[in-house]
Structure 1
């Protein structure tokens, strides 16, 4: 018997501690953690500077609510919007909450109600975010959902243009679809989005919940495109494991989110903000993001022989968000990797998703690549 609901397909091991890239289960077995809590512990487990920041704040103030001024929130907001088209931040507790805020803000500001999203997208499991998500398996069993979303195929220019009429308030998109298979936005669609937003007065919301905080080799994945977002949503890596989310918005949206329009009890609490400030201090310098990009290229190079011999169909993604498209279902390979001491996660039925901490060492990348090559090569039939 369990006292927990059965809404998670849990693995049969319990992780009890971690340091850097390595975690340990209750039996004492160690693993390379290439899940990072699903792109959360971007700076690794128990990073000493983050632990110190949290400990110091815990002795001063845990909670005071958003009824009062928050200089620390101001500083965090400034670090998140610096050098971007964005000017203001709203803090919450998760990616789903950030996307709910973005949906509300875009509708209120535009006074339109339709939002375009994409097949295989994932935006969260609250009712609005679930309605926005382009995966039917997430929606099954919950009855009629919100009707204000139009979902079109990802990277389908014609479908997007046809959907973008005068009722559309916003386009909500991931530059790289994490849960949906590590699918990367086409350059051609970028220009189409820019044109539609400009000509039809449509807001652009970029969901950076999984791709943000330097995961793809830049602070935000959209910075590797020509997109100019009106709203960006963040969570996961922003707190390195401590719950915090954020919605960033442009200057022109400021007056549309006045007092009483939205709120949260715990969002932007002193503990979360102290951690997030330290995260951005460590993860946003160019020296760090450049290193992430280099590590991603190195890992791709290590795994590329699996393309040559047919063990993989494709390697997709950027930085340290990579998807390995297998010739068969990924689940058995993920189980074998776990048995060999490597934790990875799927992204759809046939894709192994690699999400190591951004602080992963070159040696740890090599160890993980060796494990994956041994597993995947064992499935390749060699002609005699």
Structure 2
């Protein structure tokens, strides 16, 4: 907590002293949020177009979110999974309906996306287990540059060698493919237990899969008896303009994982299964003390209800198209394209200056982030309107201009931006 007199130097000192260094230095000390805005400890206001990395679906301090927490906390928060609660059952039924599982669908609740993907990993192993003396299906396929989490299980599914290297050896059995249909056709056979992938690779720079990839993946996995498991943690809860990104392709997977936006800021995740995949888990094969607690499921239910009631899927489609057109219309020499779907967009940059653009944006009062050196990720609340879109375009234009001007200075002086900063 800050008493209003804490300086940046003092809170940064405290953060470095008291927090593990896994996240590096924190970029600001935020003390309040409302709608699409955040305020830091100095009172400066920021337009938040990251939304906690696609988490705060309704923005900050939305009445539906606040009221659900207060009402459920005053009623029942946690009883363990030896028992059921009304909000848990209601959320499971809602997720089945939204995901289109039909009657055979089932839901496992976790506390995060990584935990949901751990459950998916175990689902794949259960499906691939040897039966009746057969060899089983020892192989699990994932995509190069994919991101599925940082636990030891989900890190094994994450196709980023630099992230895996400090923690080797990985959990065995996972193979990584290039994101092409040809690579998928070559790799898939009857020894594969599951293919696990993101419909849009968010941490790789908001990279959509090639046209027709999901349809081909569904056909090939079905033909070879493998599970198709989709990581919808960043793309779910309406972010792409449908409840889940796979629905754009008109396919039915065997399982999906969800988290982030379904809780609107409350930690919750889920594995949702379809058809025969719903029969793989049995008592004792998986569990979580806090997963599916009454408080978390009540809040997620309220968030999804508000998304549905407010037709925020349509808003994601409309505002996404508006943002894409506006970004491309800025005319900055740094911008070479804009990809993604709905309100999950990646702005492609002509030079590896994404971190500088993020820093400049923050100076101008805008929060975005850089999943890599040449991409700016935009993932605002699903509730944004014309006012927020116009303000974003103004602030982002200013941030791009700041970096472009600095690059021109670099070319004139022969001194890099990093060198000038170091000399200060």
1 CA distance for matches of 2:148 and 2:360? 30
Q: Is 1:201 aligned with 2:193?
A: no
Partner of 2:123: 105
Partner of 2:111: 93
Partner of 2:9: none
User: 2:65–2:303: 8 Å Cα contact kept in structure 1?
Assistant: yes
Deviations 1:198-233 (A, max 9, x none): 210111100010110011111111111133211010
SS at match of 1:166: coil
Match of 1:240 among 257, 264, 281: 264
User: 1:85–1:230: 8 Å Cα contact kept in structure 2?
Assistant: no
Match of 1:256 among 277, 280, 301: 280
Give RMSD over aligned pairs: 1.6
Partner of 2:65: 50
Following TM superposition, by how much is the alpha carbon of 1:190 offset from its aligned partner in structure 2, in angstroms? 2.4
Partner of 1:36: 51
1:343–1:286 CA distance, 2 compared to 1 (3 A): closer
Following TM superposition, by how much is the alpha carbon of 1:172 offset from its aligned partner in structure 2, in angstroms? 0.6
Match of 1:336 among 348, 352, 360: 360
SS at match of 1:103: helix
The residue correspondences of 1:166-205 to structure 2 (distance < 5 A) are: 166-205=190-229
User: 2:199–2:245: 8 Å Cα contact kept in structure 1?
Assistant: yes
User: 1:322–1:353: 8 Å Cα contact kept in structure 2?
Assistant: yes
1:90–1:235 CA distance, 2 compared to 1 (3 A): same
SS at match of 1:151: strand
Following TM superposition, by how much is the alpha carbon of 1:70 offset from its aligned partner in structure 2, in angstroms? 2.7
2 CA distance for matches of 1:200 and 1:268? 33
Following TM superposition, by how much is the alpha carbon of 1:361 offset from its aligned partner in structure 2, in angstroms? 2.1
Following TM superposition, by how much is the alpha carbon of 1:284 offset from its aligned partner in structure 2, in angstroms? 3.0
Deviations 1:53-89 (A, max 9, x none): 1101111111110001233212101111115442110
SS at match of 2:311: helix
2 CA distance for matches of 1:65 and 1:99? 21
Following TM superposition, by how much is the alpha carbon of 1:286 offset from its aligned partner in structure 2, in angstroms? 8.0
Following TM superposition, by how much is the alpha carbon of 1:187 offset from its aligned partner in structure 2, in angstroms? 2.0
Match of 2:147 among 92, 111, 122: 122
Partner of 1:290: 314
SS at match of 2:23: coil
SS at match of 1:122: coil
Q: Is 1:317 aligned with 2:332?
A: no
User: 2:197–2:229: 8 Å Cα contact kept in structure 1?
Assistant: yes
Partner of 1:277: 301
2 CA distance for matches of 1:3 and 1:11? 12
Deviations 1:34-61 (A, max 9, x none): 1111111011000111100110111111
SS at match of 1:140: helix
Q: TM-score when scaled to structure 2?
A: 0.86
Aligned residue pairs, count:
379
Deviations 1:180-206 (A, max 9, x none): 110011223223212211210111100
Q: Is 1:5 aligned with 2:5?
A: no
Unaligned runs of 5+ in 1: none
1:271–1:286 CA distance, 2 compared to 1 (3 A): closer
2 CA distance for matches of 1:12 and 1:169? 42
2 CA distance for matches of 1:264 and 1:158? 39
User: 1:330–1:350: 8 Å Cα contact kept in structure 2?
Assistant: yes
Match of 1:142 among 155, 167, 172: 167
Match of 1:19 among 34, 43, 47: 34
The residue correspondences of 1:341-380 to structure 2 (distance < 5 A) are: 341-377=365-401, 379=404
1:286–1:197 CA distance, 2 compared to 1 (3 A): farther
Partner of 2:253: 229
The residue correspondences of 1:75-94 to structure 2 (distance < 5 A) are: 75-82=90-97, 84-86=99-101, 87-94=105-112
Following TM superposition, by how much is the alpha carbon of 1:239 offset from its aligned partner in structure 2, in angstroms? 0.9
Deviations 1:224-255 (A, max 9, x none): 11332110101111111111000000131232
Q: Which moved more, 1:315-324 or 1:101-110?
A: 101-110
2 CA distance for matches of 1:255 and 1:58? 33
Q: Which moved more, 1:101-110 or 1:239-248?
A: 101-110
Unaligned runs of 5+ in 2: 1-15, 130-136, 409-424
